[in-house]
Protein backbone atom coordinates (compact mmCIF):
# COMPACT_ATOMS: atom_id res chain seq x y z
CA UNK A 1 0.00 0.00 0.00
CA UNK A 2 1.34 3.42 -0.85
CA UNK A 3 2.26 5.97 1.76
CA UNK A 4 -0.46 8.27 0.44
CA UNK A 5 -3.14 5.58 0.83
CA UNK A 6 -1.93 4.76 4.34
CA UNK A 7 -2.05 8.42 5.35
CA UNK A 8 -5.49 8.87 3.78
CA UNK A 9 -6.86 5.88 5.71
CA UNK A 10 -5.30 7.08 8.98
CA UNK A 11 -6.75 10.57 8.43
CA UNK A 12 -10.24 9.15 7.80
CA UNK A 13 -10.02 7.04 10.93
CA UNK A 14 -9.02 10.07 12.99
CA UNK A 15 -11.96 12.05 11.64
CA UNK A 16 -14.35 9.27 12.60
CA UNK A 17 -13.28 9.31 16.26
CA UNK A 18 -15.56 11.30 18.57
CA UNK A 19 -14.04 14.39 20.11
CA UNK A 20 -13.78 14.75 23.85
CA UNK A 21 -15.55 18.09 23.43
CA UNK A 22 -18.70 15.99 23.21
CA UNK A 23 -18.13 14.58 26.70
CA UNK A 24 -20.91 15.19 29.19
CA UNK A 25 -21.96 14.20 32.68
CA UNK A 26 -22.59 10.46 32.82
CA UNK A 27 -19.90 9.61 30.25
CA UNK A 28 -16.80 7.63 31.10
CA UNK A 29 -13.62 9.70 30.97
CA UNK A 30 -11.60 8.58 27.91
CA UNK A 31 -8.81 6.06 28.40
CA UNK A 32 -5.87 8.37 27.70
CA UNK A 33 -2.26 7.78 28.64
CA UNK A 34 -0.48 10.94 29.72
CA UNK A 35 3.20 11.37 30.52
CA UNK A 36 4.40 13.56 33.35
CA UNK A 37 7.36 15.93 33.45
CA UNK A 38 9.65 12.93 34.14
CA UNK A 39 8.27 10.97 31.16
CA UNK A 40 6.46 8.55 33.47
CA UNK A 41 3.15 7.25 32.08
CA UNK A 42 -0.17 7.85 33.88
CA UNK A 43 -3.82 7.05 33.26
CA UNK A 44 -6.79 8.60 34.97
CA UNK A 45 -8.09 5.99 37.42
CA UNK A 46 -11.09 5.25 39.66
CA UNK A 47 -9.56 7.14 42.60
CA UNK A 48 -9.26 10.41 40.66
CA UNK A 49 -12.05 12.85 41.54
CA UNK A 50 -10.89 16.13 40.03
CA UNK A 51 -9.03 16.97 36.82
CA UNK A 52 -7.72 20.45 36.15
CA UNK A 53 -6.69 21.03 32.54
CA UNK A 54 -4.97 24.16 31.25
CA UNK A 55 -4.53 24.99 27.59
CA UNK A 56 -2.53 28.20 27.64
CA UNK A 57 0.52 29.64 29.33
CA UNK A 58 -1.32 32.29 31.35
CA UNK A 59 -3.69 29.74 32.88
CA UNK A 60 -0.82 27.32 33.55
CA UNK A 61 1.16 30.03 35.34
CA UNK A 62 -1.80 30.84 37.60
CA UNK A 63 -2.41 27.19 38.47
CA UNK A 64 1.32 26.66 39.08
CA UNK A 65 1.39 29.68 41.39
CA UNK A 66 -1.39 28.11 43.48
CA UNK A 67 0.04 24.56 43.47
CA UNK A 68 3.59 25.68 44.25
CA UNK A 69 2.32 27.03 47.59
CA UNK A 70 0.79 23.68 48.57
CA UNK A 71 2.39 20.66 50.19
CA UNK A 72 4.03 18.10 47.89
CA UNK A 73 1.19 15.56 48.03
CA UNK A 74 -1.63 18.14 47.84
CA UNK A 75 -3.07 16.84 44.56
CA UNK A 76 -2.96 13.18 45.57
CA UNK A 77 -4.54 13.95 48.96
CA UNK A 78 -7.42 15.54 47.07
CA UNK A 79 -7.60 12.78 44.43
CA UNK A 80 -6.83 15.42 41.83
CA UNK A 81 -4.67 15.62 38.73
CA UNK A 82 -3.33 18.65 36.94
CA UNK A 83 -2.86 18.38 33.18
CA UNK A 84 -1.21 21.04 31.02
CA UNK A 85 -1.29 21.28 27.25
CA UNK A 86 2.21 21.93 25.94
CA UNK A 87 1.47 20.72 22.41
CA UNK A 88 1.92 24.16 20.87
CA UNK A 89 5.36 24.63 22.38
CA UNK A 90 8.28 24.09 19.99
CA UNK A 91 9.98 20.79 20.83
CA UNK A 92 13.41 22.38 21.25
CA UNK A 93 12.02 24.83 23.83
CA UNK A 94 10.16 21.99 25.55
CA UNK A 95 13.25 19.79 25.85
CA UNK A 96 15.83 22.45 26.68
CA UNK A 97 13.88 24.79 28.94
CA UNK A 98 10.30 23.84 29.85
CA UNK A 99 10.73 20.22 30.95
CA UNK A 100 13.84 20.89 33.08
CA UNK A 101 11.93 23.70 34.81
CA UNK A 102 8.85 21.48 35.29
CA UNK A 103 11.00 18.78 36.90
CA UNK A 104 11.59 21.18 39.78
CA UNK A 105 7.84 21.33 40.52
CA UNK A 106 6.84 19.68 43.80
CA UNK A 107 3.74 18.18 42.19
CA UNK A 108 3.16 15.76 39.33
CA UNK A 109 2.22 17.52 36.12
CA UNK A 110 0.58 15.45 33.40
CA UNK A 111 1.23 16.71 29.89
CA UNK A 112 -0.66 16.90 26.63
CA UNK A 113 2.08 16.85 24.02
CA UNK A 114 -0.01 16.10 20.93
CA UNK A 115 -2.01 18.88 19.25
CA UNK A 116 -4.55 16.36 17.94
CA UNK A 117 -5.28 15.26 21.51
CA UNK A 118 -5.48 18.84 22.80
CA UNK A 119 -7.97 19.77 20.09
CA UNK A 120 -10.32 17.01 21.21
CA UNK A 121 -11.06 18.85 24.47
CA UNK A 122 -13.39 21.81 24.78
CA UNK A 123 -11.37 24.92 25.45
CA UNK A 124 -12.27 28.40 26.60
CA UNK A 125 -9.79 31.26 26.42
CA UNK A 126 -8.17 32.11 29.76
CA UNK A 127 -10.18 29.40 31.54
CA UNK A 128 -9.30 26.23 33.38
CA UNK A 129 -11.22 23.12 32.29
CA UNK A 130 -12.50 21.07 35.24
CA UNK A 131 -13.75 17.50 35.22
CA UNK A 132 -15.35 16.10 38.38
CA UNK A 133 -15.21 12.31 38.35
CA UNK A 134 -16.49 9.40 40.35
CA UNK A 135 -15.21 5.92 39.45
CA UNK A 136 -13.95 7.37 36.16
CA UNK A 137 -17.46 8.59 35.30
CA UNK A 138 -17.87 12.30 34.60
CA UNK A 139 -20.13 13.96 37.15
CA UNK A 140 -19.63 17.55 35.98
CA UNK A 141 -17.61 19.59 33.48
CA UNK A 142 -17.04 23.31 33.87
CA UNK A 143 -14.70 26.16 33.03
CA UNK A 144 -13.44 28.40 35.80
CA UNK A 145 -11.17 31.37 36.16
CA UNK A 146 -7.78 29.90 37.13
CA UNK A 147 -7.48 32.38 40.01
CA UNK A 148 -10.38 30.47 41.63
CA UNK A 149 -8.60 27.09 41.61
CA UNK A 150 -8.28 27.09 45.41
CA UNK A 151 -12.08 27.04 45.69
CA UNK A 152 -12.15 23.63 44.01
CA UNK A 153 -10.46 22.17 47.06
CA UNK A 154 -12.58 23.88 49.69
CA UNK A 155 -15.84 22.25 48.55
CA UNK A 156 -17.00 19.21 50.52
What distance in Å separates the CA atoms of residue 92 and residue 154, rounded to the nearest whole number? 39
CATH number of the structural domain 3-153: 3.40.30.10
Rounded CA-CA distance 24/76 in Å is: 24
Half-sphere exposure of 42 (CA within 13 A, CB side): 21
**pLDDT attached to residue 154:** 84
Domain coordinates of the chain in residue numbers?
A: 3-153
Task: Kindly report the pTM of this predicted structure.
Answer: 0.84
pLDDT tens, per residue, the chain with 156 residues: 555 554 445 444 444 344 455 788 999 999 999 999 999 999 999 999 999 999 999 999 999 999 999 999 999 999 999 999 999 999 999 999 999 999 999 999 999 999 999 988 889 989 999 999 999 999 999 999 999 999 999 865
pLDDT at 28: 94
CB burial string 22-53: b at 16+ within 10 A, e below: ebeeeeebbeeebebbeeeebebeeebebbbb
What pLDDT is recorded for position 2?
59
Are the C-beta atoms of residues 114 and 94 closer than 8 Å to each other? Answer: no
For residue 16, the model assigns a pLDDT of 39
Amino acid sequence: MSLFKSLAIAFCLLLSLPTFAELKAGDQFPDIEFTDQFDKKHKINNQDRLLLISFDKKVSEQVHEFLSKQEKDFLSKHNARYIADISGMPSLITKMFALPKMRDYAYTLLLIKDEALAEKFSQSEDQLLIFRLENNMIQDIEFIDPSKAALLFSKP
